[in-house]
Structure 1
């Protein structure tokens, strides 16, 4: 007579106990050092290590390298500590910036693969909690080793403390894109196939554009005078762009400028890509409303005004997903053009 209520109560307590255990497990994962094997004895994924953690890792496992997925940040104590202890203990430190809720940038992904190939082992890969970015990075390491795509995805599982809607999670979708490419090519996964995809076909959607100049491009201009040139833009992504002249939404062509420089930077694109770049916006295309279908190209005239201060400048022409990204934040560099700005001639004085 009382069995059903008792059974319901037992099930309720069991479910509550499971939730408590799961919560405790996740709390431990988030708030602990969270050291996990990726390749036993060689590669480990961890949460943000402190000075003591790094010192213990050097002593206990012979740690030789660290790959930091949070990016360089000398304003933060955790990064200054990591730099100091790495130098003191002769541990190689590589710092690359990835975001938890965004696509892995193309350039940084290639640099990460280069680091995995190059740095001495054992190595630690870390983000903040060791759950999301570190899980994605561990999946990449497993693909480079020859493990399956499903095994790589497993590094972003609930058991690893990673919670997201996998259809919306860019870190998950990274592996889906690779799987889809394999299916289109009729190929099986291999480390060589993965590298081929990364180097030639990985562009976070929709941030894939080919931009080239059409005809002559000015290499010098008088300060304060108009500068114009024409570019060809091709949508290389697998989907259409919703182009708009709205300054708050949609995708359109833009141009920005950095300088003056003396001497010229070795790689100007790095200065455009840094967070809070000092680049100044100079141009937005306002004539391309509508859907820009995949594979289509357009010819667009870029018009801007040369800066008032003489010197060497660099102009970047790139597509912009307004209020979200310049395409080069995640994909290719766009079009980078040098511009030498000459002083304006002194105003002639009328002789009386």
Structure 2
């Protein structure tokens, strides 16, 4: 499943990654940053960059927040991880929706079972990678979500666009936690959190959406 088996499939995989998924741009800008001594974040890594991650940073686990699929970029990533003995975990986060409760549980489970150091990535490294990094800091490093700087313009994240719903999710938890400090985060997620209501309540700027969706063509 999700394997390159023929020369023609390999050609199509590279064409998809370079021309459709914008690897031609990522080769000049990796959006690669250190989160902690044992975690990093970036945009979608190419096979060559995965090799560099192994050789220079000894990355042992990659958490792909785009999810597993049949695209060329994913199949090349999976193949490279197998080649360089890197564990690949795929969790399909959304950049335009507050995270589903099961996705929060899945990423915490990934943090529990990952071999470190790890890399978190999405397509551009701006939105889903930012939320994933904030959740990593919260769950592994005990940094409150309200104090995280991982969703920031520095990484290309634009809070006023539709992707700002990720910030709104953190805001809603922070407000709830201030009023109910005795309630653990996962208890809130499982009993009170309503991602549909958060999605409906959040309002984005149409100009920011134009930039993110039409000009930057974010996923």
TM-score (norm 2): 0.72
1:202 aligns with 2:198: no
> How far has the Cα of 1:198 moved from its partner?
2.9
Shift of 1:161: 1.7
1:39 aligned partner:
36
- What is aligned with 2:66? 70
User: 2-side partners of 1:120 and 1:105: how far apart?
Assistant: 24
- Structure 2: 5+ residue stretches without partners: 1-24, 202-219
Deviation at 1:50, TM superposition (A): 0.3
Task: Compare relative contact order (CA 8 Å, sep 6+) and give the higher one, 1 or 2.
Answer: 2
Pairing 1:54-203 to 2, within 5 Å after superposition: 54-74=50-70, 76-144=71-139, 145-152=141-148, 154-165=149-160, 169-185=164-180, 187=181, 193-203=184-194
- 1:30 positional shift: 10
Q: Map Cα deviations across residues 99-118 of structure 1 (whole Å, 9 max, x no partner).
A: 22122122112101110121
- Structure 2 distance, partners of 1:31, 1:203, is 39
TM-score (norm 1): 0.46
Q: Using a 3 Å threshold, how does the CA distance of structure 1 residues 167 and 57 change in structure 2: closer, same or farther?
A: closer
- Whole-angstrom distance in 1 between the partners of 2:173 and 2:62: 26
CA distance in 1, matches of 2:157, 2:27: 10
Distance 1:29 1:146, change over 3 A: farther
Structure 2 distance, partners of 1:148, 1:109, is: 15
Q: Distance in 1 between matches of 2:119 and 2:153?
A: 21
Matches within 5 A, 1:1-352: 32-40=29-37, 42-74=38-70, 76-144=71-139, 145-152=141-148, 154-165=149-160, 169-185=164-180, 187=181, 193-206=184-197
Unmatched 5+ stretches in structure 1? 1-27, 208-238, 240-352
Report how far residue 193 of structure 1 moved.
2.6
Deviations 1:18-60 (A, max 9, x none): xxxxxxxxxx9995111111112x1111110000111111111
- The change in CA–CA distance for 1:82 and 1:164 in structure 2 (over 3 A counts) is same
d(CA) in 2 for partners of 1:125 and 1:61?
A: 13
Q: 3-state SS of the aligned residue for 1:84?
A: helix
C-alpha displacement at 1:151, in angstroms?
Answer: 2.3
Q: 1:202 to 1:126 in 2, by over 3 A?
A: same
* Counterpart in the other structure of 1:272: none
Compared CA separation, residues 112 and 168, structure 1 to 2 (3 A): closer
Q: Cα deviations across residues 222-254 of structure 1 (Å, max 9, x unaligned)?
A: xxxxxxxxxxxxxxxxx9xxxxxxxxxxxxxxx
Which segments of structure 1 move beyond 6 Å, counting only runs of 4 or more? none
Is the 1:64–1:120 contact (alpha carbons within 8 Å) kept by the matching residues of 2? yes
**Distance in 2, Cα, partners of 1:114 & 1:158:** 28
